Copies of this chain bind each other. A is one copy, B any other.
Amino acid sequence: MQEQEVKKLTMDDVAKELGVSKTTVSRAVSGKGRIGEETRQRVLDYIAQHNYKPNVMAKGLANNRTYNIGMVLQADLLSSDLPFFPKALKGISEVAAKEEYDVIMTLVDTNDLSRLARVIENHKVDGLILMRTLQDDKPAEMLKKSDIPFVTMGLSDDPQVFQVDNDHVDACRELTSILLLKGLRKIAVVSGDTNYVINRKRLEGFYKAHEELGYTPDESLIFTDVDSELFAARVTDTILMRNVNCIIGADDLLTSLVLKKLEEENMMIPEDMRLASFHDSQLLKAARAGITAIKFNTEELGRETCKVLLRRIRGEEVPQVTKLAYEVAMRESTK
C-alpha cells in the first residue's frame, strides 16, 4: 500500500520534524508529565500518520524493563503429548498481549537449568511463570535467589511462592467420593511422576475422600511414577488380577495407555471395569465409551496466572495462593 519504510522513525526524527523537543514527544507518547493539549494532539497525529513506534530496546535500557515475561517448563512436559502446555500458553499469551507484553519460552531439564539461568542473568524478562511445581523445585529455588518476580502454575508448599492452580486435591477428592458412593470400593490409581506436586495433590484427594467416607484405600492398588507404555501395561495387568472395580488414571495419557491395555484384554467399559481420568483431552476421544473425567479450564488457568504475575511486576499486592475451579464430567465409563 505505502512505500516501504526504509528506516525506522526515532523519537528524535519526530521531534525535529515537528519542531519540538524529544521530551515533548516522549510526554505525548507516554502520557506522563504536563503537556499542552494542542501539542499533544499534534504529536499524536504525526505519530499515527507516520507510524512511529518507540524502540523497546532503548526503552528497556532506560527504565530497566524488557516487556517480556518468561514461561518456564520442563522439557518432558513437551514430550508427553498432553495438551496442557499449549492451552496454558494460549491463556497466558492472551493476557500478556493485552498489556503489550511478549512471552519468552524457556525449557529446563531436571539436571540442566542453564537456559533459565541465562534468561535471568541477561535480564531478558521482567517476570516468570513456572509451569508445574516440583517436590524438589530447583527452578523455584533459583528464582527465589534472584530478584525477578515469579508465579507458579501449580501449588507449592513453600509459603514464599506465589502460586495459581486448580484445586487438584479437591477435584480428586470429589471424583473419588462419587465413585465410592456409587459402591465402587476397590479403586486402583495409576499415577505419574511423584516429583510433580500435582500428582501428589491428586493422591492426597484420593485419600481424603476415603477418609471422609470412612473407607480404607488399598495401598497396593496405588501405582505411582508410571512413566512408559510398558509400565502402564504391566500395572494394568496387575490390576486385572486383583478384582478391581475401577481405575483412576492420573492424566489422560496414562488413562489412554491403560485403556489400550484393557481393550487388548477385551475388557468392556464400564461393564467389566470403570475408568476415570483427568483433563478430558482429545487423547481419550478414540475410546468407545465416553470417559468420566475432571475438566480443568487450562486457558483460564493461564490467564489468571499471567494476571497475577503482571500485578506482581507492577508491584501490586496479590494473594499468595489462588485456587481455581474444576468440573466433573460424568460419562458412561463409570456408569
**So how many copies of this chain end up in the complex?**
2
Is A75 touching B90 in the complex (CB atoms < 8 A)? yes
Closest-by-CB residue of B relative to A281 is B81
* 5 residue pairs A–B, Cβ–Cβ below 8 Å: A68-B124, A78-B90, A97-B114, A102-B118, A229-B285
Q: Say yes or no: A285-B263 contact (C-beta < 8 A), given A4-B145, A53-B122, A61-B58.
A: no
Size of A's binding interface in residues, CB under 8 A: 62
Query: What CA separation (Å) do A257 and B66 show in the bound complex?
Result: 43
In the assembled complex, the CB of A322 is this many whole angstroms from the nearest CB of chain B, namely: 23
Enumerate A73-97 residues with CB–CB distance to B below 8 Å.
Answer: 75, 78-81, 83, 85-87, 89-90, 93-94, 97
Closest-by-CB residue of B relative to A58 is B61
Task: Give A residues with C-beta under 8 Å from B.
Answer: 4, 8, 51, 53-58, 60-61, 64, 66-68, 71, 75, 78-81, 83, 85-87, 89-90, 93-94, 97, 100, 102-107, 114-115, 118-119, 121-124, 145, 229, 253, 256-257, 259-260, 263-264, 281-288
Query: What CA separation (Å) do A263 and B286 show in the bound complex?
Result: 8
Is B60 touching A57 in the complex (CB atoms < 8 A)? yes
Is B83 touching A105 in the complex (CB atoms < 8 A)? no
Residues of B within 8 A of A58 (CB): 61
Query: What CA separation (Å) do A100 and B106 show in the bound complex?
Result: 12
Residues of B within 8 A of A287 (CB): 260, 286
Residues of B within 8 A of A56 (CB): 122-124
